[in-house]
Structure 1
Amino acid sequence: MTTSTSTEPRTPRADCIADSAGGVTFDMAGIAAADAVFVLRRRGGTAPADTLRLPLTPAGGERARAVLPSTVELAEGHWDACTDDDIAVEPGIRDLRALVDRIPESARVAVRVPYPTADGRLAVRSWVREPHAEAGDIGFEQGSCTIEGVLYGAALGEGAVAEARFGGKVHQLAVTSDGAAFGFTLPYTVLVEAPVVKQQMWTLWLRPAEGAEPVRISRILDDVWDRKSIFVYPTHEAGGYRATPCYSNDNDLCVRLTAK
């Protein structure tokens, strides 16, 4: 009987640990070269800043470690992981417990969530918001929804309103506040100015005070990199339309109108 030893290189694989400050540690297996580098590339980016190279250091056994500190800039978007010779990295164990129920410690909210792509690669979803309006509970009554949230990086003041936007249309809604917490009710009828023929995706914003710049309402302070297909809310049906709160590809809160 003969035995053979495969000399084929193993596919690189990374276990990830995220911390509450926005840092991520990547523990790599399948890296043979002593001078190997862990690379993150922003999807669709072409500028030098859209590639981040992190050195790999020995981590015991046949493993190596790369560290993405919270202090390193990572522009908002999707960052694909690979080696310095363009071999895609597979996702291993992802420890994201520190991201759950996270409370930002600064006005600038930076979130990095490692996740597996649909084709089995490792990527990191990054958000950078300042200020940031974090969506919370959503309640439902006949013909309306009530949205609660918390504002970070700005103060709620006189004249604060929520805004629903679609194209060039803007509808303002009264806001209640308690410290940094805010809430408002959105009657769906205010969005229906004419018969709904095609889908309309109304984006939701918070204007913290009269004259202040509006802030997108999103939900990013946890370990969910894509809420769109996970969080499904009740649909309200009325004469000629359906209205459904939902999240976008970027975890931004919206209300979708469709023809009935």
Structure 2
Amino acid sequence: MSKHHHDTPVRTDCAIDTDGRITFRLPAASSARPELLLVLRPKKGRPETTRHHFELEPDPADGTWHTVLEPHQALDEGRWDLFLLPEAGAGRQRLRPGLRDLRVLVDGHLRDRPSPVAVRIPYVTKDSFLALRAWLRTAHAEARTIDVTDRAVTVEARLHGARLHEDATVRLRLRGSDTVRSLSPRIAEDGKGFSFTAERKDLTVDGGGAGRFWDAFVRPTADARPIRIGRLLDDVADRKHVYVYPAITADGTAARPYYTVDNDLAIEMT
């Protein structure tokens, strides 16, 4: 494991353009060949396995160094930590966030995405370092509005990287079991937009204890693979505690829609 420098933290600016290209800009480097290192954060107790190196280029105009993460460079789904490698063989230095220009992400849901759907959102970690959140999916269903009444949850969404057919279904799968509820979505004329309503009866679990979770998917056709419904196409890297919805309550049980740690849509039964 390479040693980490804890010198003066290096602030890194980043900006995203409408094509999804991310430009990283660092202050003047003290060596001739600095690199930006992206490391996929491993699961607890596991070693690092996936890294990408990017050469930093000097910008004569202002003395900064920059590199570009192109949209076609696929990043595995997960969280990526950013480091500066001042020179070959030197210890790596974790990067602090400077200016983050993510304005184009705010309306990211308005652009239709081809397959595969690749999403990257720069964010600040709990310990104030710069990191990247990445998703890479064959297709993706972007949840937009979630409406909770005292009887039902209604979700409006849009499919990216695939098209819905007449026999499309929304599937709620009880986490950790084979129990699935199939719902018929209302499909927009363009075969992309859809909405569905889950009523209380759809969400009750026979003999179920508290703390059950329904995960939400859409199947574009009867025999297609289920596509996860979530919310990825804006500038919010961690949605779980930011978007909090009311619950349907009845007979001592509550059903509350929420976003998981991966920003996927689920409904919790308590």
Pair 1:157 & 2:155 matched: no
Matched, 1:170 2:180: yes
Is 1:33 the counterpart of 2:31 in the alignment?
A: yes
- Say which is worse superposed, 105-114 or 208-217, in terms of deviation: 105-114
| TM-score under structure 2 length normalisation | 0.87
CA contact (8 A) 1:131 1:154 kept: yes
Distance 1:139 1:105 in 2: 25
Secondary structure in structure 2 of the residue aligned to 1:250: coil
- Write out aligned runs for 1:191-210 (5 A): 191-210=203-222
On the 8 A contact 1:113/1:124 being kept in 2, the answer is yes
Q: Look up the match of 1:24.
A: 22
Give the Cα–Cα distance (whole angstroms) in 1 for the partners of residues 262 and 153 of structure 2: 21
In 1, distance between residues paired with 2:253 and 2:30? 58
Indicate yes or no: 2:241 matched with 1:233: no
Alignment correspondent of 2:264:
252
Match of 1:115 in 2: 123
CA contact (8 A) 2:14 2:98 kept: yes
SS at match of 1:99: helix
Residue pair 1:91, 1:120 contacting (<8 A) in 2 also: yes
Aligned to 1:3: none
Q: Tell me the equivalent position of 2:132.
A: 124
Query: 1:217·1:252 contact (CA, 8 Å) conserved in 2?
Result: yes
Give, in whole Å, the separation in 2 of the partners of 1:144 and 1:88. Answer: 46
1:19 and 1:76 map into 2 onto residues whose CA distance is: 21
RMSD over aligned CA atoms reads 1.8
Q: For structure 1, which segment, 31-40 or 119-128, has the greater mean C-alpha deviation from structure 2 after superposition?
A: 31-40
Alpha-carbon distance between aligned partners in 2 of 1:13 and 1:22, rounded to the nearest angstrom: 22
The 1:185/1:105 distance shift into structure 2, 3 A limit, reads: closer
Which residues of structure 2 form unaligned runs of 5+? Answer: 1-5, 86-90
* SS of residue paired to 2:195: strand
Q: 1:30 to 1:211 in 2, by over 3 A?
A: same
Partner of 2:55: 55
Mark the CA change 1:257 to 1:105 in structure 2 (over 3 Å): closer, same or farther: closer
Counterpart contact for 1:114–1:123, Cα < 8 Å:
yes
Summarize deviations over 1:137-186 as a string: whole Å, max 9, x none.
Answer: 11122221111111112111131110111122110011110121111101
User: Per-residue deviation at 1:92?
Assistant: 1.0
Q: Distance in 1 between matches of 2:72 and 2:115?
A: 14
Aligned residue identity for 1:113: I
AA in 1 matched with 2:115: A
Per-residue CA distance 1:26-47 (angstroms, 9 max, x = gap): 1112632221100110010757
Q: Select between 208-217 and 29-38 the one with higher mean Cα deviation.
A: 29-38
Amino acid at match of 2:103: R
2:229 pairs, out of 190, 199, 217, with 217
Q: Cα 1:194–1:105, aligned 2, differ >3 Å: closer, same or farther?
A: closer
Match of 2:93, SS state, is coil
Code of the aligned partner of 1:95:
D
Distance 1:9 1:242 in 2: 50
Deviates more, 1:10-19 or 1:26-35: 26-35
Aligned residues: 250
User: What runs of 5+ residues in structure 1 fail to find an aligned partner?
Assistant: 1-7
* CA–CA separation in structure 1 for the residues paired with 2:99 and 2:29: 17
* AA aligned opposite 1:172: S
Amino acid in the other structure paired with 2:8: R
**AA in 2 matched with 1:64:** W
TM-score w.r.t. length of structure 1: 0.90
